[in-house]
């Protein structure tokens, strides 16, 4: 992901969660339903989904990241792998649903200048 980010001039959005995570599935459906938003996300970020589960905790990968406080947990890194942002996705919710406006604001805030 970092090599692709360097090559394309994008940042990396790391989404940590898993199939066991109901909000991860809600986020997947939200992005699938909002194609323009998904296209904007992919235009500005290399998206890397990382599974953490009882079967595979990805401990080695996760050791280099701040501890997630909830799932899905989002990290933004620069193309060199430096973490710029770490937060659960709750700030993207309005009235218990993911918000197109908040997601757009998130992309605009964290995309590469």
Q: CATH number, domain at 8?
A: 3.40.30.10
pLDDT at 7: 96
What is the reported pTM?
A: 0.93
pLDDT at 58: 94
Show the low-confidence residues of the chain (pLDDT under 50). Answer: none
Tokens of 1: 């992901």
pLDDT at 50: 96
pLDDT at 71: 96
How are beta strands 83-88 and 45-51 bridged, if at all?
Answer: unpaired
Q: Please count the structural domains in the chain.
A: 1
pLDDT at 84: 97
Whether 5 contacts 79, CB under 8 Å = yes
pLDDT at 38: 98
pLDDT at 90: 93
Domain that holds residue 58: 2-110
Locus of tokens 């079967």: 55
């Amino acid at each position: 992901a970092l090599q692709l980010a360097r090559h394309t001039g994008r940042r990396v959005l790391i989404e940590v969660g898993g199939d066991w995570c109901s909000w991860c599935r809600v986020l997947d459906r939200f992005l699938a339903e909002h194609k323009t938003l998904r296209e904007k996300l992919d235009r500005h970020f290399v998206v890397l989904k990382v599974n953490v589960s009882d079967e595979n905790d990805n401990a080695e990968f996760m050791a280099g990241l701040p501890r997630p406080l909830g799932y899905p947990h989002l990290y933004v890194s620069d193309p060199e792998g430096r973490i710029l942002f770490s937060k659960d996705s709750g700030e993207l919710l309005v009235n218990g649903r993911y918000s197109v406006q908040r997601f757009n604001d998130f992309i605009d805030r964290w995309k590469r200048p």
